[in-house]
Structure 1
Amino acid sequence: MADSPLNKKALGHIRVLDLTRVLAGPWCAQNLADLGADVIKVERPGAGDDTRHWGPPYLQDAQGRDTTEAAYYLAANRNKRSITLDIASPEGQEIVRALARQSDVVLENYKVGQLKKYGLDYASLKQEKPDLVYCSITGFGQDGPYAQRAGYDFIIQGMGGFMSITGERDDLPGGGPQKAGVAISDLMTGMYATIAVLAALAHRDRTGEGQYIDMALLDVQVAMLANMNTNYLASGQAPRRWGNAHPNIVPYQTFPTADGHIIVAVGNDGQYRRFVEAGGRPELATDERFATNPMRVRHRDILVPILSDMVKTRTKQEWIDALEAAGVPCGPINNLDEVFENPQVRARGLRVDIPHPTGGNVKLVGSPMKMSATPPACSLPPPLLGQHTDEVLHGMLGLTQAEIEALRDKKVV
């Protein structure tokens, strides 16, 4: 997507000072950047965000050689400007304070209390800019008995209950707890943090008042269990793992085909009848053990193996064609090759290619937010380490080239 004029950027009037690294914080910052905010990513001199080195795979240049930019880093850092800065140094701390005075939002994900010793905590920066929106992201929040613990997504998925309801049934082969295939507590914390920042900015615009936002991965992981939480709170019974099956509906699960897997999501008895008729087994609809959903749930251990054998006789696409024609909800389980070749994904423009200074073009997934007046734009590639240090220090703070070089000699930038 081409860059939008300033008046087409929802957050074109907002500047974000991003002191975060890895995923939850950068994901929030990337959302804000996609919506037009000027995001300045502050990184350690010589090293940068940890995820720059989380490869392979790496971005490749025009000759097919690996660059130093890991694909993991590329996923969460487009549309930002990168500066390198040693915030442990007095000079670096003063630069952060100067940048914060010209920013609307500060994002950080340091350990609880770590920035206070540098004078870069909310209480300190609020003195510099009273209407500042300051968002801290940690594993467990700013208070409570676990506040000083480091928070890792995998651990949070287990501790927050997600893995207790994810994975195959304990009584089946491969049964047991399973984490998600992506770092969901990190990503969802980034999403919740985005919402909180936008709400705080709206409040500031009405009242002139800034505020502090305390985001915790554990809080988010617990909150996002949604109806599973309320199922437990209403019944007192902890939900169990059902793998790809449903506790209350049969069949509502995955099935292996001759060449892959499909999802069949039968929601009523009519859809079930059409499913087994499409499979050449109409007698399964009149069998009293399977005729109604309550009976199918009761006899799932008998019915599901029969249905599995039926589905294995055809390919994935043959089943999808037959079931769509019969009005039975279904879908494929695609690998990412198939995802990015899917005509709907292509039509929605989810893959974007952006020119990159070392990689020729970088292939990314664009923002899923479709907005008629202020569409998100993928205009800047994930920046090289420190790519914009001189630009920011000179353009925003008025430092001369000699002053910048003096800071570089002292390894402050």
Structure 2
Amino acid sequence: MPAVRNVLVVGAGAAGAATAILLAEQGVSVELIDIKPDVSALGSGITLQGNALRELRALGVWDRVSALGYEFNQLGIRLPDPNATVVAEISEIRTGGDDLPATMGMYRPDLARILVDRAVEAGAKVRFGTTYTELAQDADGVDVTFADGSSGRYDLVVGADGVRSWTRRQLGIDLETRSTGMGIWRVFAPRPAAVTRTDLVYGGPAFIAGYCPTGEDTLYAYLVEAAQDRSTLSPEESLQVMRGLAEGYHGPWDEIRESLTDPERIHYTWFETHVLDAPWNRGRVVLIGDAVHVCPPTIAQGAAQALEDAAVLSELLLAADRLDQDLWTAFTDRRLPRAREVVAASVQVGQWLLDGEQGDVPGLLAGISSMLRDPA
């Protein structure tokens, strides 16, 4: 018998939905809740590296992901000159194995819907627009009081509720989430025919100008600048700022820029980071995903690391016959060093740009990719 029979998972993002799938399909009673009103409210585009695709295949959703996403195996580097000169074409390491593409771009809400639908198919009970107000645990379980006044008792609560995790705060864990000094403009837009991979431009009006194809007709494009308070801008002003920055880039950017007409598609956020030291649990409540490690998107590993958390946690829970500190130690022994290294590399790439240094980005990425070829 697995270490848990019924589990509450808080947060229906990649980490939470994947945990719900893996436990529910093995007969564990799982409730998956999220404070958001619906899964469709999530984000714009996402880049998935091979190690993320490996976990998605294990979750039984590879066919659906492959049908909606855009696969590619190469990264291009361009100059910020009038010709958008290509100076390097890099074959990426297939971190998920040779039978999977190196990278896939897709529309983030599509991925979110696929994972939640799969959780329901696996037998999880999913509720949106729901949160809890109190956790009270003892040696045998966790009593949870929900915002609607209902309650339940669970063998385990999994806090997969993001960067500003309510569960982490409920546990009294003080974790500093800091800005790395960069901000990113993102837009979901039509894909020019010339865009068949991610191309990055370093320099020009922004630190990084890039794009990632997300489907036959779509991409998401992004511009990375020094972090600024953009909160006072109206949607129309935000659109003009992004169009203005994009004026410094050419090649496919000329078509992308002309398609930037809808202010509601423009989003701006800061790069943030944190890593929680072990342990990631307090008794029968455990934190995973962005609640414990956040990396800037400079090496596109956020979702991958969340999915790996879910895979390792579920594997250990299903193999053990009780919850004890040996299980939690095994969990963080497998996940913390790997996540810490990924976060450090993600931050380092941005710091080199902020400092104006010529860091060895290809060497750093090659080392991380080699590590990620081995399953978590």
Q: Same fold (TM over 0.5)?
A: no
When normalised by structure 1's length, the TM-score is 0.19
Give the TM-score normalised by the residue count of structure 2.
0.20
Which structure exhibits the higher relative contact order, with contacts defined as CA atoms closer than 8 Å and separated by 6 or more residues? 2
